[in-house]
Structure 1
Amino acid sequence: MADGIYGLPFDQFQRYRLLAEVVGILEGERPPLSVIEVGGGWPPKISAFLPGRQITVVDQVEAEAEAEGYVRASGTGLPFPDQSFGIAVSIDALEHVPPPEREKFIAELCRVSRGFVVLAAPFASEAVRAADQAVFKFIRAHSGYEHPYLKEHLATALPDQVETMARLDGHGLDVEVLPSGRLDRWLLMMIVYYTLDGDPALKSALPEVMAAYNRAYYPFDICEPAYRHFLIGASEKLGRGWGALHDLVKGESQTPQSPSELAAALEFARVTALAAKDRELAALRAELTAREEEVKALREENAALHEFRDKVHALPLYGFYEQHIKPRIK
């Protein structure tokens, strides 16, 4: 993968990086599978994680004219024949589908695939809802807006994991589950991300902080308790493939041996912020000096005017004016 990918927001990176590993395991010794991602948005992220594959992205958002590989359509009515793609994928989209339409959404994924479906989402649980609510409230307080996706999570019931697995099973797929996004670190990093994103002085440090986290922590976020879960469906027996998938999961207590790169990135963010504040303070001091010079000049001008007035008042002609002319003017 290209180095630039590591600078993506950690939440995007961890889901697409895990998808890339899952797709590689499902392919096994096969040639690369053609992939359809439903709900991938525009511009899509998936191609950077799955190079060398034919990829089609479907969403309802507007894209650039004649965007190659992008189709604007509904996930509940995909405009493709049956079994058009080697694998059908949907990552963090199911929760945004209205509940009455979710069964049709899943059915369409199964219909257009040739036997592999990967469906990932934050599924309903008290812990996930509490995390969503905490981040939503933080963004509103810190940045002054309501995050639209999190708002939708809170307003509409998240999908039920057992029910979703049963629907995939009903389409003849064996289903395995992988956790994604260790919940405590997901919550912490969402706060870190939106703290930096909401401060102009810190925002420039975001890619470096994200890259440090993604490089050091990604493998250790494939564990429970998780923010989202990947449901991996296959119509054929994978044998050792299932074992390879399970090998991706880390124990709950496992952490990186050396998080120094992340610490260095956070220190970089702190230093960047301090430098920005120093520049802001220097600008304010320069403005204050300029204002003080203006005040000094106005005081000198005022003193000169008072001096001129006193000299005028001392003139005999002014006395004549005061005594004989000014009363008549009134």
Structure 2
Amino acid sequence: MRPDMDNKSHLKILDIGGYGGKTREFFPEDEVTVLDLYDIDEPCYVKGDALDMPFADDAFDVAVSFDVLEHIPREKRRQFIQESTRVSQHLNLIAAPFYSKKAAQTEFALNHYYKNLTGFPHQWLQEHIDYGLPVSTDIEKYLTENDLYFSAVNSNEIHNWTWIQFAVLFTASSNVSSQYLEQLYQFYNTHLSSLEDYDENSYRRVYIASPRELPQDLDREFQNNYSWEDRLRLKEITFQHIAQMQQNAQREMVNHELNWYQLMVERLNRENKHLHYLLAMRDNELQLINQSRGWRIIRFLRRFRSGLWGKLAFKKGKHEG
């Protein structure tokens, strides 16, 4: 994208808030440093605040943040962009969901759906709602204030994204293997990209900013050349595949519950057998006690004592009479 970056053998990239992400997988030959809030002891990881980063000016060639901006309170987003711009020398990439009426309504519906499944709101969706999604005009104003050229590319056509998120939330709330989540993400990234319209009706927007002018045709490679007929056909195939994946996930969840109940039944049977064994042992001990010489003596003494007390009580009553 920039000749002065292309001449470098490797780039220094800062992934802001990217712990657990896949930036390193996309840039295996570059030096990727992750900044996040967790206490993690790993190479190329720094614990720190994105609003006050512990790095010198222009410490990195590129700074990226994926789905971070919306988790920063609205009044601090300007400061976030200032810090991200400060530590990056050549390029700044900010990807996040941006406000539209449709996006806000969709997130509310997804959060409500997840709450019905689990009994509590989704952590990140609830934070989106509490903080409010970023507004494009605000971000563009902040970038301009920092003397940056920028270009924006839309991503995640909102209807495709909504359907996949319903599937993701169901799978995440179910007691099934995490492989289904990975399959959903992989399928979306592999196949649904061909259905993207990259227009205003998108959930995410990617801002590419630089202190130098950017290529004018930067968004051409994202243009979709599929006809409407092809898109409808691909969507039908896609949603059939997603439905099949969901059926597999539900089947695994049911099998998991059946296995759990079977284990509980086996455990109760074992406990029942153990109780029967203890009762049998006690009956045997009682039988041995009844047959012992000491117990026969005790029974004799008890009968003798009962007879003696009976005679004394009879004499006492006769005397009083």
Both proteins in one fold, TM over 0.5: yes
Q: 1:176 to 1:200 in 2, by over 3 A?
A: same
- Count of residues in correspondence between the two structures: 264
Q: CA deviation at 1:190?
A: 0.6
Tell me what 2:140 maps to.
Answer: 165
Match of 1:249 among 223, 227, 241: 223
Match of 1:110 among 56, 66, 85: 85
Q: CA deviation at 1:69?
A: 1.1
Q: 1:271 to 1:91 in 2, by over 3 A?
A: closer
Q: Deviations along 1:196-246, whole A, 9 cap, x unmatched?
A: 22222575533334323321112433612111111111222333xx41433
Q: Deviations along 1:92-134, whole A, 9 cap, x unmatched?
A: 1112112222211111111111131111222222111111101
Tell me what 1:125 maps to.
Answer: 100
Stretch of structure 1 that moved more, 211-220 or 111-120: 211-220
- Give the TM-score taking structure 2 as reference length: 0.71
The yes-or-no answer on 1:174 pairing with 2:167 is no
Q: CA deviation at 1:195?
A: 1.3
The one-letter amino acid paired with 1:95 is E
Q: Which runs of 5+ in 2 are unaligned?
A: 273-321
Match of 2:39 among 53, 62, 68: 62
Q: Deviations along 1:240-283, whole A, 9 cap, x unmatched?
A: xx414332133795738656476446425424633664686698
Task: Confirm or deny: 8 A CA contact 2:97 2:204 kept in the other structure.
Answer: yes
Q: CA–CA distance in 1 between the matches of 2:188 and 2:137?
A: 31
Match of 1:93 among 43, 68, 72: 68
Q: 1:53 to 1:117 in 2, by over 3 A?
A: same
Q: Specify the SS of the correspondent of 1:35.
A: strand
Match of 1:36 among 10, 14, 28: 14
Match of 2:203 among 222, 227, 230: 227
Q: CA–CA distance in 2 between the matches of 1:88 and 1:255?
A: 34
Q: Specify the SS of the correspondent of 2:217.
A: helix
Q: 1:256 to 1:174 in 2, by over 3 A?
A: farther
Q: CA–CA distance in 1 between the matches of 2:255 and 2:48?
A: 50
The one-letter amino acid paired with 1:114 is Q
Q: Which gives a bigger RCO, structure 1 or 2 (Cα 8 Å, sep 6+)?
A: 1
Q: CA–CA distance in 1 between the matches of 2:124 and 2:256?
A: 35
Q: 1:203 to 1:68 in 2, by over 3 A?
A: closer
Tell me what 1:206 maps to.
Answer: 181
Q: Specify the SS of the correspondent of 1:58.
A: strand
Tell me what 2:291 maps to.
Answer: none
Q: 1:280 to 1:121 in 2, by over 3 A?
A: closer
Aligned residues: percent identity? 21
Stretch of structure 1 that moved more, 75-84 or 29-38: 29-38
The one-letter amino acid paired with 1:231 is Y
Q: Which runs of 5+ in 1 are unaligned?
A: 1-24, 295-330
Q: Specify the SS of the correspondent of 1:255.
A: helix
Tell me what 2:308 maps to.
Answer: none
Q: Which has the larger radius of gyration?
A: 2
> Please, what is the CA RMSD of the aligned residues?
3.2
Task: Confirm or deny: 8 A CA contact 2:150 2:214 kept in the other structure.
Answer: no
The one-letter amino acid paired with 1:48 is E
Tell me what 1:236 maps to.
Answer: 212
Q: Specify the SS of the correspondent of 1:243.
A: coil
Tell me what 2:190 maps to.
Answer: 215
Task: Confirm or deny: 8 A CA contact 1:201 1:276 kept in the other structure.
Answer: yes
The one-letter amino acid paired with 1:270 is Q
The one-letter amino acid paired with 1:139 is Y
Task: Confirm or deny: 8 A CA contact 1:39 1:59 kept in the other structure.
Answer: yes
Match of 1:267 among 229, 234, 244: 244
Q: CA deviation at 1:153?
A: 1.0
The one-letter amino acid paired with 1:230 is V
Q: CA–CA distance in 2 between the matches of 1:143 and 1:81?
A: 44
Task: Confirm or deny: 8 A CA contact 1:76 1:105 kept in the other structure.
Answer: yes
Q: CA–CA distance in 1 between the matches of 2:26 and 2:239?
A: 22
